[in-house]
Each structure stands twice: as C-alpha cells, then as structure tokens.
Amino acid sequence: MEDAKKIINTGLRGVTVASTRISHVDGEAGKLIYRGYPIFDLSDQTNYEEIVHLLLYESLPDEQQLNALNERLAANRAIPESLLAALKTQPDNALPMDILQAAIPMLAGNDPNAAELTIENAQRIAESLVAKIATIAAAWHRIRNHREPVAPDPALNHAANFLYMMTGEKSEDNTARFFDVCLVLHAEHSFNASTFSARQVASTRAHMYAAVAGAIGSLSGELHGGANTRVMQMLKKINSVDAIDDYVKHILETGGKLMGLGHAVYKTGDPRARILAPMSKKLGELTGNTKWYDMSVTLEEKGKKAFKEKKGIDIYPNVDFYSASLYHYMGIPADLFTPVFAISRIAGWTAHVIEEQFGGADAKPVLYRPSSDYIGEYCGPAECDFVPMEDR
C-alpha cells in the first residue's frame, strides 16, 4: 500500500510496467535504439520500410525480404470503397486525427479475420495498417479540399507515395528522402502515452484495430503527438524572430507551454531533434525561406535560457520542435502533422501490440489493472444511505 501511494499523480513516471525488446530510450544519455540499433545509424542508412521489418519481424531485412515487404505494402495501400464513401460524408472541418481514428474500426469491419488472435494474423494486420493509414490521411486531406483522392503509386516508396497521394505531384528527391527520415525517426519510442494505450487495449485481448484506434486517440493530445501542430501554430503566432523574447516571457509568466520543448524522459536532449534540425535548415534554404527554421533556432535558445533562469531546469527541443518547420517546408499543412506522426508510429504501435499479446516467456501477457486511491466522500463514518429518486 505504501509503495502504491508513492506513485499517485506521477503519471507513472519511473514505474516499469513491462519488459520490451522493441526499443530503448536512454533519457540521461539522450539515446534512442530500435532493437539494438542506434537511431543515428538507422536514420542515416535505412528507409521506413526497413524499420517496419525491424520492428515487426525483429531483424533488419535482407534484399529479398525487403522486396517482398515492399510488394505486400504496395498491394495493401488501397482502402475499401465503403471507407472512401464514408469519408466523403464527413464535414470538411472535422479534425484529421478524429477522421483517422474513426477509420480504423471501419477497416476492422472490412477484415473478416480481424479478431483472430495469432501472431501471423497480427503481423498481417500490422502491415495492412502501415500501408493504409497513409492512404487514409492523404485521401481525407484531398476530400476535405473537394478534390478526388489520388490512387497510390506502387512504384514509389512509402514516404514518396504519401506525399504524392497528398499533393497529386511527385516530390523532389530531397523532400521525399527527408520525409522518409522523418518516418524512420517517429516510428517507435518505447512506452510513450499512445504506445502504452495500444498495449493496454491489447492486454484485454482486443484485436489490433481496437488497440490502434486507442493509440490514435492518445496521440492526438497536445502534450503528445499533437504538439507538432501546436509548434507551427505557435511559430505563426509569434511570426518574427524579434517577437520571441516577449513571447517566451509571456508564456513563463502565464504558466503556458512552449510547444516542442521539454520531454518526459529525455533530460539532456532528444536525439531526433538533432537529426531534424539540419533537414529543416536545408529545406528552408532550398525553398528560399529560412524564416521558420531561424525562428525555431532562436526560440530554442531563448526558451532554454529563460527556463534555466526561472525554473532552474534545462529544457531541450523534442521531436516535434524542428519537425514542424520541416513539414511546413514540405508543403504539409499544420493540422496534418499529427496524422503524419501516426503514419510512422503505426509500426511501433503494432510491434508493441504483437509483443503484448505474443511476447513469449519473458514478456508474459497480463491484463493491465492499476489501483486507484478513493478520495471521494462518505456520509460520515459509514457509507451514504441510498436516496430514492422521489426524495432527492
């Protein structure tokens, strides 16, 4: 009982709830590894499809395995006609994350084997979701703008194909490769809020679609994946390097949030931000508009300094900070940034669902069921006497 009390209202920080072989976040050293490989090597030398293989099948693919996975992903990209028709009934201003979340049970409804709980079936659904979530996000963006969805192009890789389905045009090589790196960087991050949501749902032996729908809801919040959209809104609101001092001061005085700064686990810096920043710089230069990158650099510097002075803590950019300006340079609208996060993180979520349900001897599946501390009222020393409706 004493131990349980210690973790109340800590958001489970520091509490280890399961073992995992999928990834490790070393918050003190600022390191991230996927199945043993450092993120710096993976982002430099692999593409998103290789990461999908690594996460779902526990090894980097050889050429034959990668070709086979590419073919299966390409074959899975089209979404059911009934889902497309349903998307067309939705209001244009519906939040893209709500649309994405709502689409997942519809995919389940179109899958006659959705509820079969075997590892092979879970891997099949995982690949199908990896392929289809990108199509749904791109299709919704076009539908809300009264344009016809663009059919996937099997000749393109996952990153280039998403940009193509969103814009209807093939991207420059630089843009497509940078987007691919973003997908690699966002694919997995141990027991963050959305992944824990997925695992918690999976622990009830619900199917993969149910777990992923839960994870998407969790990712949408502004303290988690929703932060990337908020970073861009913040940059647009500040709108110039000269206004940053006043903005930081105002946020600290009013108890607001500097979006994209700080992290629940990384306390010496998020390695992903260090990889994203130079890409934002480069695309800013290539598009002839470094304003958003320049503002981000200054905001990082001033935010860090102000936090140290006021709160005595070091604060660093997280993955959402530089991805905002980078996605903006890629032509992705701000309210699609969080769906783009989901397009990548689906690989991590589904790997965790598989581990939660079929983890083997050292990761025994268990139903999550934390306790709570009742601090509500009693009517005196005993429980309240029930009051019938007519006497209330």
Residues 52-111 binding ligand ACO (CB under 6 A) are: none
Q: For residue 296, give the DSSP letter.
A: H
Q: What is the C-alpha to C-alpha distance for residues 229 and 355, in angstroms, rounded to an integer?
A: 30
Binding segment for ligand ACO (CB under 6 A), chosen from 39-47, 114-122, 125-133, 317-325, is 317-325
Joined together, the tokens standing for residue 79 give 């979404």
Here's the x/- map for ligand ACO, 263-282, by CB under 6 A: it reads as xx------------------
Give whichever of 94 and 223 is closer to ligand ACO, judged by the CB atom: 223
The pair of three-digit structure tokens given for residue 68, joined into one six-digit string: 């086979």
What residues have CB less than 8 Å from 119, skipping those under 6 apart?
Answer: 354, 357, 358
Measured from the CB atom, is 255 or 380 closer to ligand ACO?
A: 255
319 binds ligand ACO, rule: CB under 6 A: yes
3-state SS of 303-357 is HHHHHHHHHCCCCCECHHHHHHHHHHHCCCCHHHHHHHHHHHHHHHHHHHHHHHH
Q: Per rule CB under 6 A, is residue 300 in the interface with ligand ACO? A: no
CA distance 345 to 353: 12
- Taking CB atoms, the residue at the shortest distance from ligand ACO is 262
Q: What's the CA gap between 281 and 298, in Å, rounded?
A: 13
Residue 309 beta carbon to ligand ACO: minimum distance, rounded to whole angstroms: 13
CB of 315 to ligand ACO, least distance (A): 6
Tell whether residue 149 is a contact of ligand ACO (CB under 6 A).
no
Alpha helices in the chain (DSSP H): 2-6, 39-45, 48-57, 63-76, 81-87, 96-109, 119-144, 158-167, 173-186, 193-202, 208-219, 227-238, 244-254, 271-287, 291-311, 319-329, 337-358
Among 313, 360, 366, 370, binds ligand ACO (CB under 6 A): 313
Subset of residues 207 to 266 that bind ligand ACO, contact rule: CB under 6 A: 223-225, 227, 257-264
Closer residue to ligand ACO in complex, CB, 202/259: 259
Task: Pick between residue 224 and residue 281 the one whose CB is nearest to ligand ACO.
Answer: 224
| Nearest distance from C-beta of residue 156 to ligand ACO, angstroms | 27
Active site residues: 224, 263, 320
Of 14 and 288, nearer to ligand ACO (C-beta) is 14
> Do residues 182 and 276 make contact, with C-beta atoms less than 8 angstroms apart?
yes
Beta carbon nearer to ligand ACO, 237 or 369: 237
Nearest approach, Cβ of residue 161 and ligand ACO (Å): 24
Rounded Cα distance, 258 and 252, in Å: 9
Residues found near ligand ACO in the complex (CB under 6 A): 192, 223-225, 227, 257-264, 311, 313, 315, 318-320
